[in-house]
Structure 1
Amino acid sequence: MLISNIEIVPGKKIVKHLGMVQGNTVRAKHAGKDILAGLKNIVGGELKAYTELLTEAREEATQRMVQQAEAIGANAIINVRFSTSSVAAGAAELFVYGTAVVLE
């Protein structure tokens, strides 16, 4: 499955437009890691627990989008976008969407 954040794929022709596909997930870290992240917030620096949370969420949401695209016969997803929102303290939703197409 080809995944691209641009509207066209150079050298390829879109022969069928199958519509929007999407995937999402809501993830949370356990309280212990949330407390450690809070302490790190005081001294500054990367909050690695949250970086891991969003990386895992992005991979899972993308996998769900790809499964949806495969189910409708797509071989590519173009114009892919990601969105992240806070759902609760320590929990975030990651949403990914794009246009499923058949490329020639």
Structure 2
Amino acid sequence: MIVSTTPTLEGRPIRAYHGIVAGETIVGANVVRDFFASITDVIGGRAGAYEEVLGRARREALAEMADRAQDMGANAVVGVDLSYEAVGQTGSMLMVTATGTAVTV
């Protein structure tokens, strides 16, 4: 499965459009991880625990989107966009959404 943020794939003409596909993942923040991330924010540096969770959520959203495209008979997804949003009453959860157009090249 080819997944691209571009609207076309160079040298691979689009033969059929199958429609919009999306994949969503919601991850919760851990209280202990929040505590250590706040310390990192104060003393500087990167919040590795958050980066790891964010990376996993992004990969899961992209994989879900690709699976849905394959179910539609597509072999590629073009025009992919990633969106991140805090959700929940206190914003303690993060939703990652991947959307694109399922195509056959």
**Fold shared by both chains (TM-score > 0.5):** yes
Q: TM-score, normalization: structure 2?
A: 0.92
- Within 5 Å, give how 1:82-97 maps onto structure 2: 82-87=82-87, 88-97=90-99
- Give % identity: 32
Greater mean deviation of Cα atoms: 73-82 or 32-41: 32-41
Partner letter of residue 93 of structure 1? M
8 Å contact from structure 1 (residues 27, 92) kept in 2: yes
- Please give the alpha-carbon distance, in whole angstroms, between the structure 1 residues aligned to 2:20 and 2:3: 13
- Please give the alpha-carbon distance, in whole angstroms, between the structure 2 residues aligned to 1:30 and 1:42: 18
- Please give the alpha-carbon distance, in whole angstroms, between the structure 1 residues aligned to 2:31 and 2:62: 26
- Within 5 Å, give how 1:1-104 maps onto structure 2: 1-87=1-87, 88-103=90-105
8 Å contact from structure 1 (residues 29, 49) kept in 2: no
- Please give the alpha-carbon distance, in whole angstroms, between the structure 1 residues aligned to 2:4 and 2:51: 23
Aligned-residue RMSD, C-alpha: 1.1
- Please give the alpha-carbon distance, in whole angstroms, between the structure 1 residues aligned to 2:73 and 2:80: 17
Q: TM-score, normalization: structure 1?
A: 0.93
Gapped runs of 5+ residues in structure 1?
Answer: none
Corresponding pairs, count: 103
Q: 1:21 to 1:71 in 2, by over 3 A?
A: same
Shift of 1:90: 3.7
Q: Which has the higher strand share?
A: 1
Gapped runs of 5+ residues in structure 2?
Answer: none
Q: Deviations over 1:33-62 (max 9, x none)?
A: 111111111111111111011100001101
- Please give the alpha-carbon distance, in whole angstroms, between the structure 1 residues aligned to 2:77 and 2:26: 22
